[in-house]
Amino acid sequence: MGSITWVHLDLNLLVTLDALLDEGSVTAAAERLYLTQPAMSRALGRIRRATGDQILVRSGRTMLPTPYAEQIRDEVHQLVTRAQAVLTPATEVDPATLERTFTLQCNDVVIEALTTRLAADLAQVAPGVCLRVLSETDAGVDEYELRRGRIDFQITNVVPTHADARSTTVLTDELAVIGRRDLPQAPSSWGVFTALPHVVISRRGSGNNRVDDLLKAHKLSRKVAFTVPTLALALRIVAAHELITVAPRLLTEHALPPSLRSYPMPEPTSPIPAVLAWHARHDRDAAHRWLRSLIADALGAITRGA
């Protein structure tokens, strides 16, 4: 028992040190680990005595890591991640009896396509599972949220760069023009495409995106009539007027009302991947593996037209 207790205490200190270095705040680290601030302060004191270093030093209202803390930050995080993976049993899971909340972050286009496909599966196969879906923030998707454990999955169009992140591409899409079926001309030529007013979908309110970069290469520009935060709002506007929007073709087609259709872009654009990402500590988590497989299958079915 003595050796087990000693290992347990040392691992707790590593987890605490990882949280302190990641958050840069005693208060934030305490909230993350569900500890009181005095308990976290005592743990920091133990770490300081064990390492002979202050780890975090106050600078005005903030705390800054010491050079030693900066040096060991990544190594500590890797040790904690590996320890969690070793101590997580690689068992099977029964979705029918699973009771757990998972958090997924992605943009609204993916949310609409994915949740409609997952709703029936989760209700029938795993009624005790709650999928908490978060949209992108104004700053976009922050992959540090995976590291902090605040979300379980992210779906973005880029492969994560952190060494402790895992990912797989679950869908590859392409841009398409969305407009009414009764448009006088198909917006599949640059002339018609630029003549029609556009609805731009941007969570952050930006009127420029990859479409404008493409137009600039052809020394063209477009008239933006609306910039809206969601696909659903863009489709309602486009359905009511002779406007067009540009969106991922496969992820959008399920949401189109009968009055709308997708048209090909005037020229092919670069593929748009949907990348499912998670933290390495969940690799051996059977429930996590089951749900990410379900998510991958749901988005993969869109590619297959199922």
Which domains does the chain show, CATH number per domain?
2-87 (1.10.10.10), 95-173+272-304 (3.40.190.10), 175-264 (3.40.190.10)
Q: What predicted TM-score, i.e. pTM, was given to this entire model? A: 0.71
pLDDT at 142: 63
pLDDT at 6: 41
**CB contact set of 72 (below 8 Å; sequence gap of 6+):** 21
pLDDT at 207: 62
pLDDT at 139: 53
* Residue 15 φ then ψ, to 5°: -60, -45
CA–CA distance, 21 with 72 (Å, rounded to integer)? 9
**CB contact set of 32 (below 8 Å; sequence gap of 6+):** 19, 23, 148, 149
Residue 88: count other Cβ atoms within 10 Å of its Cβ: 15
Tokens representing residue 31 in the block = 């909230």
CA–CA distance, 46 with 26 (Å, rounded to integer)? 14
DSSP for 160-173 reads ---TTEEEEEEEEE
pLDDT at 7: 43
pLDDT at 89: 62
pLDDT at 75: 84
**CB contact set of 81 (below 8 Å; sequence gap of 6+):** 164, 279, 280, 281
Q: Which helix (H) or strand (E) holds 5?
A: helix 2-23
The amino acid that residue 171 corresponds to is L
pLDDT < 50 stretches in the chain: 1-9
